[in-house]
């Protein structure tokens, strides 16, 4: 499987702290060595970095880890290949244009034999993840108006996610820059940091940060990840079928749908609200 990382904040924030922890799992503390990618929104623009090399040893990943790119919304993915070759075209996150915005998508899981429905969006690589993204984009484009309200959009995203999750494992992050949608089929966790901020420590590498020195009392920064990245904070562990729509660091809509256990699953969702190892903020 792969691992996901997302950020939603109410102020431009860098992802250096969390990204540094995640990259260790790409070939050092974890097996996700088959490529990585990250997308940072800047207004309607998106700054993208992709590399098919293991992120634990990637010079590009090291560059990004040290580069304080400020963004309110970001999506990152580290890959453990199950479907598709190890190549640049198969690295997440994937992007497509819809309604004058760049939509960014990353997927953790596997849906064997998935076939997308007819539409204008087609895959460039050969992963089931990109086929899923193209199908999702085709369905949204065909079934919703351009001025669809967030509630209407969320309802469609949830219905599609539930449909995909019934066919396999579908954990995902999706954004158009205004909002960030997260859906949990098997594994996902999140943490929201707000005043009073304190110190935090990464699990995968000995790095600590004091967010109080890097933030203001008004900052709100939420981090979503496949597995908690810190060892001294309490993360909220999603339940199976749980989804959230994030905006400016806050959950603006959420819910839970039925998702049966699928034969392709290799891991089950952990209990909610486990006190786990602690770390991230408006410097992220």
Q: Establish if 234 belongs to a structural domain.
A: yes
CB 6 within 8 A of CB 19: no
Q: What domain count does the chain have? A: 1
Q: What was the pLDDT predicted at 284?
A: 52
- pTM attached to this predicted model: 0.90
Q: What is the pLDDT of residues 54-68, one digit of tens each?
A: 988 999 999 998 888
Encoding tokens for residue 67? 């580069």
In the chain, % helix, strand, coil (3-state, to 5) comes to 20, 35, 45
Q: Establish if 230 belongs to a structural domain.
A: yes
Instruction: Provide the b/e sequence for 239-275 (b: ≥16 CB within 10 Å).
Output: ebbbbbbbbbbeeebeeeeebeebeebeeebbeeeee
Q: What is the pLDDT of residues 148-200, one digit of tens each?
A: 888 899 999 999 999 999 999 999 999 999 999 999 999 999 999 999 988 89
Q: Establish if 227 belongs to a structural domain.
A: yes
Residue labelled with tokens 């304190």: 198
Q: Which residue did the predictor score with more confidence, 33 or 127?
A: 127
| Residue 1 pLDDT class (50, 70, 90 cuts) | low
- Determine the structural domain holding residue 136 and report its residue range: 3-276
Active site residues: 2
CATH number of domain containing 108: 3.60.20.10
Instruction: Pick the closest to residue 199 from 191, 189, 207, 187 (CA basis).
Output: 207
């Amino acid at each position: 499987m792969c691992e996901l990382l997302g950020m939603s904040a109410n102020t431009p924030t860098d992802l250096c702290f969390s990204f540094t922890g995640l990259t260790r799992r790409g070939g050092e503390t974890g097996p996700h060595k088959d490529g990585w990618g990250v997308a940072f929104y800047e207004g309607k623009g998106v700054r993208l970095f992709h590399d098919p090399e293991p992120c634990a040893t990637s010079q590009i990943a090291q560059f990004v880890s040290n580069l304080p790119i400020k963004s309110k919304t970001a999506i990152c993915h580290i890959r453990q290949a199950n479907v598709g070759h190890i190549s640049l075209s198969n690295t997440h996150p994937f992007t497509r244009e819809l309604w004058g915005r760049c939509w960014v998508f990353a997927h953790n899981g596997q849906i064997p034999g998935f076939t997308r429905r007819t539409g204008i969006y087609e895959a460039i690589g050969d992963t089931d993840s990109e086929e899923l993204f193209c199908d999702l984009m085709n369905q949204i484009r065909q079934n919703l108006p351009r001025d669809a309200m967030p509630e209407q959009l969320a309802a469609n995203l949830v219905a599609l996610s539930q449909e995909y999750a019934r066919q396999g494992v579908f954990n995902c992050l999706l954004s158009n820059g205004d909002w960030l949608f997260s859906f949990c089929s098997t594994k996902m966790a999140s943490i929201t940091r707000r005043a009073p901020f304190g110190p935090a420590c990464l699990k995968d590498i000995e790095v600590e940060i004091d967010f109080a020195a890097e933030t203001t009392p008004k900052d709100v920064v939420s981090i979503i990840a496949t597995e908690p990245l810190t060892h001294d904070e309490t993360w909220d562990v999603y339940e199976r079928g749980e989804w959230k729509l994030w905006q400016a660091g806050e959950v603006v809509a959420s819910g839970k749908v039925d998702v049966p256990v699928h034969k392709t699953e290799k891991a089950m969702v952990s209990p909610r609200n486990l006190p786990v190892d602690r770390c991230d903020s408006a410097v992220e």
